[in-house]
Amino acid sequence: QQQVKQSPQSLIVQKGGISIINCAYENTAFDYFPWYQQFPGKGPALLIAIRPDVSEKKEGRFTISFNKSAKQFSLHIMDSQPGDSATYFCAASIGYGGATNKLIFGTGTLLAVQP
Amino acid sequence: GAVVSQHPSRVICKSGTSVKIECRSLDFQATTMFWYRQFPKKSLMLMATSNEGSKATYEQGVEKDKFLINHASLTLSTLTVTSAHPEDSSFYICSASGLAGGPRETQYFGPGTRLLVL
């Protein structure tokens, strides 16, 4: 119940195309869903995050779509660029009385954007 | 804002020695810091959670006597790998949360430390 399932494992997209990465969860107590981007040898960087009371959030070329009833959320990268080539992780957060919030990470998607 | 640093970025040590990794939040006070381990082409595995001034909470299967965590201040946490062995070789990443004005759940990650034990 604590898992976050992520797909696909890898993705190849042409420059200018749309990259779509999907995640699903079981635990309805999750209330915060961030996406992180990680380049080789670097730490993850926060891209965008959403809460379950919103169905969509857009920041620049990055959009999260959230389906609460299906317990699914996805990341859309519009106009994908070679510089977007990285590993993307979805995550979900479950709080413990406001003291600490552990992130449960998906398995990651390796995105390659071809020029 | 929300910059987290780690030191060192890379470390090579001999088997049996101890290695200390520092994690600092440079421009905010982190109420909570987290330590992760990541194997090549794998996801992040949470090792422990620490709050300033209190003992760290370790995840199941993580040896607390081997991975010593100290959270001495709101801007500094350290991870010490004691009596390191080759199987401890990995990429260790810290994160910090608690940025004032931001979502309390948001974790900001450091750049990671590559540990190689010979």
What is residue B8's predicted lDDT score, i.e. its pLDDT? Answer: 97
* Beta carbons of A32 and B103 less than 8 Å apart: yes
Residue A60, pLDDT > 90, answer yes
- Nearest by CB to A105, from B44, B49, B103: name it: B44
Whether the CB of B49 is below 8 Å from some CB of chain A: the reply is yes
Q: Give the model confidence (pLDDT) of A24-43 as tens digits.
A: 999 888 889 999 999 999 99
| Mean pLDDT score of chain A | 92
Neighbouring CB atoms inside 10 A of A44's CB total: 30
B106/A34 Cβ within 8 A: yes
- Checking if the pLDDT of A73 tops 70, the result is yes
* pLDDT over 50 at A10, yes or no: yes
Across chain B, which has 118 residues, the per-10-residue mean pLDDT values are: 92 97 92 93 92 88 94 92 96 88 79 97
B104 exposure class (CB count in 10 Å sphere: 0-12, 13-18, 19+) = middle
CA distance A67 to chain B (A): 20
Q: Is the pLDDT of residue A96 over 60?
A: no
- Does the pLDDT of residue A101 top 80, yes or no? no
Distance of CA A68 to the CA centre of its chain: 15
- pLDDT number for residue A46: 93
